[in-house]
Amino acid sequence: MQLRPNQRLKLDDTDDKLFYAYPRFVTHVDEGFIQQLTDLYRDRLKPNTRIFDMMSSWVSHLPEEMEFDHVEGHGLNGEELARNARLNHYFVQNLNENPQIPLPDEDFDAVLNCVSVQYMQYPEAVFSEIYRILKPGGVAIISFSNRMFFEKAIQAWREASESQRVELVKAYFASVPGFTTAEVIAHKSTLPNILQWLGAAGGDPFYAVIAYRS
């Protein structure tokens, strides 16, 4: 799987660091989505392991009762990351400029990415890095809804339907030899589209694509 050059384009092609220069201390999905994600983490993550929360913010949605050996954070706004109490350490890096993650090989038990995969212009390279830093048997959990900063999402994502976006993330995993066949969890919203876009409670669909380093 290789995206075409036009599929990587964003409507706003200015430096991402400018767009994310000011912190946004909000959640970008509703409480129903967050609860489903936390429940998924509770089910798939193991205590006392090493977690990499990629493209994170001021909250990681990890279960409060679970303790981990180390949670490494990454994002584009240092103020948001500094507010995240679950992170033991974090770094700021634009993966669209440099997709190479400055972390050791086979060092993490899990890599998490919440509602950010739509902004990756070079997902093939990023998913290769996810594979590299995962321990054998480690899990990658990519979660998303239908919300986005439209001007910063890549064309392939903007023009896709929700089911096509799931297939896109599955293809990102499949582009890297060594990942297991991706598993999909999909809970579509039953609310009309207009109520979803207005932010009605329970309106956010929940999607997670999960694969393990075999």
Supply φ then ψ for residue 171, to 5 degrees: -70, -35
Please provide the average confidence, as pLDDT, over all residues in the chain.
Answer: 91
- The predicted-structure confidence for 23-67, as pLDDT tens digits, reads as follows 664 566 788 889 999 999 999 999 999 999 999 999 999 999 999
Q: Which residue has the higher pLDDT, 149 or 157?
A: 157
| Model confidence band, residue 151 (pLDDT cutoffs 50, 70, 90) | very high
Q: Quick one: pLDDT at residue 196?
A: 52
Q: Quick one: pLDDT at residue 2?
A: 86
If you ran DSSP here, which 8-state letter would residue 53 be given? E
On whether the pTM is more than 0.85, the answer is yes
Whether 102 shows a pLDDT value over 60: the answer reads yes
- Whether residue 212 contacts residue 137, with contact meaning beta carbons closer than 8 Å, is answered with yes
Q: Quick one: pLDDT at residue 40?
A: 98
Scan for tokens 């993966």, then name that residue. 95
Whether 189 shows a pLDDT value over 60: the answer reads yes
Whether 107 shows a pLDDT value over 60: the answer reads yes
Residue 60 CB-density burial (10 A; 0-12 exposed, 13-18 middle, 19+ buried)? buried
Rounded distance between C-alpha atoms, residue 132 and residue 13, angstroms: 29
Q: Which residue has the higher pLDDT, 117 or 202?
A: 117
Give the lowest-confidence range in 23-27, 60-64, 109-113, 155-159: 23-27
Give the lowest-confidence range in 15-19, 40-44, 142-146: 15-19
Q: Quick one: pLDDT at residue 213?
A: 98
Supply φ then ψ for residue 179, to 5 degrees: -80, 145
Whether 22 shows a pLDDT value over 70: the answer reads no
Q: Quick one: pLDDT at residue 25?
A: 45
Whether 80 shows a pLDDT value over 80: the answer reads yes
Rounded distance between C-alpha atoms, residue 42 and residue 149, angstroms: 28
